[in-house]
Amino acid sequence: MNQKAIVLYLHVHQPFRVRHYTIFDAGVNHNYFDAPLGEGTNNQQIVQKVAEKSYIPMNRRLLQLLNDYPQFCLSISITGTVIEQLERWAPEALQSFKDIVATGRVEIVAETYHHSLAFFYSREEFEQQVAMHRTKVKDVFGKTPQVFRNTELSYNNEIAAWADSAGYKGILAEGWDKVLGWRSPNYVYRPSGTENIRLLMKNYKLSDDIAFRFGNKHWAEWPLTTDKFTHWLNSTHNATNFNLFMDYETFGEHQWEETGIFGFLEDLPQKWLATPGNAFMTLSQAIDTYDPADEIDTPHTTTWADTERDLSAWLGNGMQTSAIQALYDLQKQVLATNDLALIEDWRRLQASDHFYYMCTKWFTDGDIHAYFSPYENPYDAFMAFMNAYHDVRYRLIEKGVEI
């Protein structure tokens, strides 16, 4: 019998959001990320709320499932910036992640420490951040990642080639129709121009049924039960691995507990494993188990966001591109200072989230519900970011650096 596996992969991340940092702060204080309590950009309050609503209750259930079902397993990616925030403000939540990883059946995925788009601006900086993340994961969880994902699931042939040469056995991407063509995302693939590495592509229909549509009462398939969901999977014959990739915060934060999202998860292993031959696999297990079905050529960058599935949510307008370019233009000078606090602030500003908050495409169309941002509008996000950037420059000038 053909074995079919659910490959569940959850992405855990929180950025250091820039507070309402004005031109009067620039050159006066450098606490870009320390919003006062009560403000929408207060990182402590956000991470504590998410820990309470999502991380802690979700990990409790995952641990229970891992204990109850020896066949159950999953993969997570967890950025350096969220680990730091959990260490400072929600140690109980961090412990709950350590507990599930300690079962040996939760694989951790490699990525940039700062959730950055550095790959597209500075290879040197990118590699540095991947190395930082590797060290952090080793320190905190005692694991060394084998599979790589780039920020926002951004992917192209070049990234695949890099990951291949860096020794990763797998890499993740969106299962975007324009790339797949007639092919299905439910197989393991090989990226064009590589030999050793394997590509796993998100089944966005099934993933988004859970991540986006689960609680939507206007959705024709609402309510999504585990019976219905496993029936869909069981009746899909040409498939080996169902790649369910989504934000970890889907559970309890994007989809509130009231939608029944936790109950769905708790019921899934029993329902899915009831059919002989069905399995759960980590990313590495899927790669080890299945031979590549074909080669996938991705000359243009894809991501997991928006109907366009490209980088336009982060780098689609002039504010975004000028802000990120200005930041990377400081790389040489910032790194040369050896001032660790300054370098860290500069890296925190690289988080893709800052550029996402500057996106105007939904704002213009009036669809602000599609737009998760702690700022009132994209312009406020840009102004706060640029003032922080100006302060980084100020700190360089103070050190006598030519800019």
User: In the annotation, is 266 catalytic?
Assistant: no
Out of 3, 165, 275, 364, point to the residue binding other proteins (CB under 8 A): 364
Q: Which is nearer to other proteins, 79 or 320 (CB)?
A: 320
**CA distances for 205 relative to 176, 183, 221, 300, angstroms:** 10, 14, 12, 21
How many chain residues bind other proteins (CB under 8 A)? Answer: 22
CA neighbor of 352 nearest in space, from 103, 117, 89? 117
Applying CB under 8 A, the span of 119-127, 146-154, 181-189, 316-324 interacting with other proteins comes to 316-324
Site for other proteins in 7-66 (CB under 8 A): 22-24
- Pick out residues in 384-403 that bind other proteins (CB under 8 A): 386-387, 390
Interface with other proteins includes 382 (CB under 8 A)? yes
* CB nearer to other proteins: pick between 44 and 360: 360
Q: Does 319 bind other proteins (CB under 8 A)?
A: yes
Q: Does 377 bind other proteins (CB under 8 A)?
A: yes
Of 32 and 189, CB closest to other proteins? 32
Of the candidates 107, 125, 152, 253, the residue annotated as catalytic is 152
Task: Give the nearer residue to other proteins in terms of CB position, either 46 or 386.
Answer: 386
247 closest CA partner among 309, 297, 298, 202: 202
Helix (H, G, I), strand (E, B) or coil at 130: helix
CA distance linking residue 222 with residue 217, whole number of Å: 6
User: Are the C-beta atoms of residues 116 and 126 closer than 8 Å to each other?
Assistant: yes
Contact string (CB under 8 A) for other proteins, positions 208-247, x = contact: ----------------------------------------
Distance between CA 20 and CA 380 in Å, rounded?
8
Contact between 379 and other proteins by CB under 8 A: the answer reads: yes
**Is 274 near other proteins (CB under 8 A)?**
no
In whole angstroms, what is the distance from residue 94 CA to residue 165 CA? 32
Minimum distance, C-beta of residue 258 to other proteins, in the bound complex (Å): 31
Q: How buried is 398 (Cβ within 10 angstroms: 0-12 exposed, 13-18 middle, 19+ buried)?
A: exposed
Q: Which of 31, 165, 318, 344 binds other proteins (CB under 8 A)?
A: 318
Q: Which helix or strand (DSSP H or E) is residue 247 part of?
A: strand 241-247
CB 117 within 8 A of CB 314: yes
Our finding on whether 366 is near other proteins (CB under 8 A) is yes
Give the separation between CA 284 and CA 170, rounded to whole angstroms: 7
Q: Which of 157, 216, 289, 321 binds other proteins (CB under 8 A)?
A: 321
The answer to whether 281 and 289 are in contact (CB under 8 A) is: yes
Residues known to be catalytic: 152
Binding site for other proteins (CB under 8 A): 22-24, 317-319, 321-323, 360, 363-364, 366, 376-379, 382-383, 386-387, 390
